[in-house]
Amino acid sequence: MMKNKFITFESDRLYLRPTTEEDAVLIHEIFTQEKAIRFIGDRNFKDPTDACEYIRSKTLKQLHERGYANYTLVLKATGQKVGVCGLYVRTGMRLVDLGYALLPSTESNGYARESSLRLMQAAKEDFDQIKLSAVTHPDNAASIKVLEALGFHHMGQKMITGYDGTSEYFEVDL
């Protein structure tokens, strides 16, 4: 596992380490899937180089400013990268936002829930957050189910900068 000056975390099955340029292929693969484009939005990644630039300009910028951002999920048993989970500062939102995205081949294994629980703990214990938000596409039933299982409460719909249409908006007390 990569070591750096930023905090890394682990859960029963996963290492959660800050996403870096070395994860550009993973980020490109996740965010160019039809489901991610529909539910999260089109990041216009033509190739891993575009994903690398996104990591530099968004992810690493927030990591250096806040100490937290996007985390790459790595299976402890095999070292396989399966997705991302993060704590995001989003334009127009007052709370830090929890989000996750997995490679389609690794969905339905509980990785989103497991990594989210670990980052919720970190948000409280390491980053002094008392509440988090989360947003998801109205048609993303699987994500809504995960958020409800994590204890998030549906607060209605909200327009989120950078997302098309309205999103389902959730909050949780830590």
pLDDT in tens, 123-163: 999 999 999 999 999 999 999 999 999 999 999 999 887 77
6 has pLDDT over 50: yes
Span 13-72, pLDDT tens digits:
999 999 999 999 999 999 999 888 788 877 889 999 999 999 999 999 999 999 999 999
Over residues 80-125, the pLDDT tens digits come to 999 999 999 998 899 999 999 999 999 999 999 999 999 999 999 9
The first and second tokens of residue 124, run together, are: 């409280």
Q: Are strands 97-102 and 9-10 parallel, antiparallel or unpaired?
A: unpaired
Is residue 122 within 8 A of residue 114, CB to CB? The reply is no
Question: Tell me: the pLDDT tens digits for 69-78?
Answer: 999 999 999 9
Give the closest residue to 21 by CA, choosing from 46, 73, 57, 74. Answer: 57
User: What is the H or E stretch that residue 74 is in?
Assistant: strand 70-75
1: pLDDT strictly greater than 60: no
Q: Which CATH architecture has domain 9-173?
A: 3-Layer(aba) Sandwich (3.40)
How far apart (Å, rounded) are the C-alpha atoms in residues 52 and 148?
32
The pTM score is 0.92
Q: What is the pLDDT of residue 164?
A: 72
- Each domain of the chain, given as residue ranges in start order, spans 9-173
Q: Give yes or no for residue 2 having a pLDDT over 50.
A: no
